[in-house]
Structure 1
Amino acid sequence: MSGYVDRRRVSNYEPTSLRSLAQLVTPAPLFSLGTILLLLTLLTGLGLSFIPWQQSVVGKGKVMVLSPMQRPQNIEAQIPGRLVRWNIREGQQVQKGAVVAELADLDAKFLDSNQLARLEQQKRVLVAKRAAAQSRIGSIAAQVTALEGSRGLAIPAAQQKAAQSVDRERASRQSLEAAETNLTTAGLNVKRLRELHSKGLRSTRDLEVAENDFVKARTERDRAGAALDAARREVSVGRFDQDKVVFDTAASLASSRASLASARETLATIEGDILKLDVDIENLRSRTEQRIVRAPSDGVVVRLLKVGSGETVKAGDVLAVVAPATTDRAVEIYLSDNDAPLVAEGRPVRLQFAGWPAVQFVGWPSVAVGTFAGRVAVIDAVDDGTSRYRVIVVPDEQAQRTEQPWPGPQYLRPGTEATGWIMLDTVSLGFELWRQFNAFPPTLQAEPVKLKAKKE
């Protein structure tokens, strides 16, 4: 028991007698401090193990309009001209189609103030010529139809005439054969009467009558021969007339068809001229309309880039800039090539806008004040040339049901600077400190690897 020292007894000793022993006693304040430090150490360990920490990557950018048709638009001069007057001022609200400015055309082809009336007069003349050409085509078409009908009748008529000449030739041949038979008979009769007359059996008169009949029969034979020759010539003439009718009607029909084709060609030329004139008239009307510069959409005139009446502008020159009235807003922020692979579409984002008071707690976004909810909508597939990737953030409609929405368009304008914290995974505070001390990237929950089924 020699190693045990009673505190009460030691306290009754004089300091001068046991001074070294008194120095071994732990002071009460130090004992309390040690206890507190031990508890703090335990609490810190527990806190580092169980306090959650929201990992995130941060990027900076600006507010933009998501819809391409609602972004700030340049009002350009569509024709070269001279500025006559402005009908708006900077900051003025304009409606779609409102007259913004007026230009005077400088092209020498469009300086005539009565050019449109003259072109329309030329068109009326061409329309009258087209009506006349159409009437002529109708007349020629009717003529062609009549010729086709006439040809259909003339050719059969010629064929009938040729057939009649053939019949007359046949009749003439038969008449010639009959005349030759009569002549033979008359010759035999004369011969017989001569023999009888020489014997005194017949009178001289009978002989004379027989000779007269012989002469008549010969004459009839000659007449029948001449008639046969004439009939043969009529057959040839009938065939020639038939061919002539065929060729004459074909020539007349071909001529009429050629005239019809020429009339249709004239009509096509006139219609082509009318179409060209229509194009010229529409071009002139469009050119006249382009002298009036109109607002492309509803919005506010941001700035006027051409000032003063009489200033000359070229086609494509920007005259003014209009910012359309829209609530379709988004934020484009840029991430480095180290952080971009960690981000995926649909990730929640906390946004802080310039000029809007905010207190952001990176690891605990739920206690942040003045930030707004967003969600990743688009991640560019290529960088911007400086190893930065653009991320487009849109309002998180689901989160805005319980949080305040983005500021209105009168406060949050396109071009406003913004800072975005893209939320990643939730880890413990101790792991996050260890990660940052070792300069490791944030963690991501890896998707399970899907093993391919083995083919049996």
Structure 2
Amino acid sequence: MKLKSVDHIYHNNIDSRVKRWFFIILCLCLLVLILPWTQNIKVRGNVSTLYQDQRPQQLNSPIPGRILKWYVKNGDHVKKGDTLLQLAEVKEDYLDPMLVERTQQQVKAKMGVRDYYQAKVGTTNSQLTALNAGRELKVSQLKVKIGQLNNKLAGEEAELVAANNELKLSEDQYNRQKKMYDDGFVSLTQFQQRNVSFQNALAKKTAIENKLAQTRQEIVSINIEQNAAIQDYREKVSKTEGERFQSMGQIEGSTGDIAKLENQVANYKARRGLYFVFASQDGQVVSLNKAGIGEILKDTESIGTIVPNKVDYAVEIYVKPVDLPLLKNGQTVMCIFDGFPAIVFSGWPNSSYGTFTGKVIAIENNISPNGLFKALVIEDPTEKPWPPQIKMGAGVQGIAILNDVPIWYELWRNINGFPPDYYTVKTTSSDEKAK
């Protein structure tokens, strides 16, 4: 009797398809192994910007002061130049409401002092001119007097020569008359007359010599007087020049004081413009850390942050040192922004959904404090644009695209622990023209 259960358990007479399915699956596996696979590097980063003026900017107090009035609150959107808050002075040096006017009065007073010393310098210059003219006149007078005495001396010397000649003649006549008197040829009266003539000639010579000596003495006295006059005028000129230089020093000192006071006036006027804190750019005011009225701010103390409205976004990615040689400028990076759904096939980036394409434009040579190297990625203008909803600081996952290799090669590389192939970026002719 043939049992039905035996037919269901034993399939001796039924064709088996196991071998067929085995070969089909083997062929499919071999086919998969030769499919292309895109090597890549997984990186993480955050949204940033290339330009410093598009980053969140701190609002700092330009001067120490007391908050007088707020014009904004957290979350407000402002335009460049809008008033954020008003400050009042807290330093005693600037509490005077008439500080600028009083400092300007000091400037005018210093200018008056300078003008006074300038006038004094002008008067001193006139005194110097008068002293020099008086000295020249005095010296000229003494020179004329010396010339007159020299002429007188020459005449007296001529008189002395004539007196000597006359004395010599009288002496010869006296000697002859005395001999004749001794011989008895002339009378005593005649001899006495000749003696008187001789004595008169001698007296005349002595008088002329005394007169000549007096004239020479006068010349010496005039020379001494001339030197004394020159020395006296020199002392007066030196004293006057000293006063002039002193006045000029006072002028320079006053000029320096005026410049200092004018600088203070300019600083005070500029400080008045710092009582209001203005928005440095269009954006949103966030993170205001001072509450209410009357709080005291220190110099350069942070008040809050303003986030710009217009931002050219970029992505800062951080690469492990071992993967750094594989990253090059111009390399494609697939970005996955936090908050945006994505379906990622890492080996087939073109088949992924929700990713956005970027290009590496810079790689920093210095390692970051987190032990990774930072690279900057910007939007690829030839691909799908990045979503406008992304914000500064948002997280980003990146996939740096490398070489296309077969799957069997990628499996063999991972089994042996080899790194991805060194990647060379291929630039198109249009990129080269742009460079």
Task: Place the TM-score, normalised by the shorter chain, in its bin.
Answer: 0.7 to 0.9
| Equivalent runs, 1:31-70 vs 2, <5 Å | 31=17, 34-35=19-20, 37-49=22-34, 51-70=35-54
Find the counterpart in structure 1 of residue 270 from structure 2: 286
1:433 aligns with 2:418: no
Find the counterpart in structure 2 of residue 5 from structure 1: none
1:331, 1:418 within 8 Å by CA — same for their partners in 2? yes
1:276 aligns with 2:260: yes
Match of 1:133 among 100, 117, 134: 117
**Structure 1 length-normalised TM:** 0.81
For 2:125 and 2:239, how far apart are their aligned partners in 1?
Answer: 12
Distance 1:156 1:39, change over 3 A: farther
Shift of 1:140: 1.8
**Structure 2 length-normalised TM:** 0.85
Match of 1:330 among 298, 310, 314: 314
Find the counterpart in structure 1 of residue 218 from structure 2: 234
Q: Alignment identity in percent? A: 28
1:368 aligns with 2:352: yes
Find the counterpart in structure 1 of residue 153 from structure 2: 169
1:158, 1:245 within 8 Å by CA — same for their partners in 2? no
For 1:434 and 1:191, how far apart are their aligned partners in 2?
Answer: 161
Size of the aligned set, in residue pairs, is 418
Shift of 1:419: 1.1
Amino acid at match of 2:371: S
Shift of 1:388: 3.0
After superposition, the C-alpha distances for 1:417-438 in whole angstroms (9 at most, x for unaligned) are 2111111222112212233344
Distance 1:23 1:314, change over 3 A: closer
| Equivalent runs, 1:369-448 vs 2, <5 Å | 369-396=353-380, 400-401=381-382, 403-408=383-388, 411-445=389-423
Amino acid at match of 1:45: L
Amino acid at match of 2:300: G
1:165, 1:238 within 8 Å by CA — same for their partners in 2? no
2:402, 2:423 within 8 Å by CA — same for their partners in 1? no
After superposition, the C-alpha distances for 1:252-299 in whole angstroms (9 at most, x for unaligned) are 221121111111111122112212212322332333333222222332
Amino acid at match of 1:412: I
For 2:362 and 2:25, how far apart are their aligned partners in 1?
Answer: 46
Distance 1:356 1:134, change over 3 A: same
For 1:195 and 1:442, how far apart are their aligned partners in 2?
Answer: 156
Amino acid at match of 1:370: G
After superposition, the C-alpha distances for 1:377-406 in whole angstroms (9 at most, x for unaligned) are 33343444443333321223xxx22x2222
Find the counterpart in structure 2 of residue 85 from structure 1: 69
Distance 1:419 1:152, change over 3 A: farther
1:221 aligns with 2:205: yes
1:84, 1:310 within 8 Å by CA — same for their partners in 2? yes
After superposition, the C-alpha distances for 1:203-250 in whole angstroms (9 at most, x for unaligned) are 888667645544542342232112111111012112212312321222
1:61, 1:331 within 8 Å by CA — same for their partners in 2? yes
For 2:400 and 2:349, how far apart are their aligned partners in 1?
Answer: 11
Match of 2:247 among 263, 279, 282: 263
Residue range with higher mean Cα deviation, 124-133 or 154-163: 154-163
Distance 1:96 1:202, change over 3 A: farther
Q: Which blocks of at least 5 consecutive residues in structure 1 are unaligned?
A: 1-13, 448-456
1:299 aligns with 2:283: yes
After superposition, the C-alpha distances for 1:54-112 in whole angstroms (9 at most, x for unaligned) are 11111222111222232111111232221101122333333333321111111111111
Shift of 1:41: 2.4
1:162, 1:242 within 8 Å by CA — same for their partners in 2? no
Shift of 1:146: 4.6
For 1:283 and 1:446, how far apart are their aligned partners in 2?
Answer: 58
Distance 1:363 1:149, change over 3 A: farther
Residue range with higher mean Cα deviation, 430-439 or 174-183: 430-439
Distance 1:412 1:445, change over 3 A: closer
Shift of 1:125: 0.9
Q: Which blocks of at least 5 consecutive residues in structure 2 are unaligned?
A: 426-435
Amino acid at match of 1:114: M
SS in 2 for 1:44: helix
Shift of 1:43: 4.2
For 1:372 and 1:23, how far apart are their aligned partners in 2?
Answer: 57
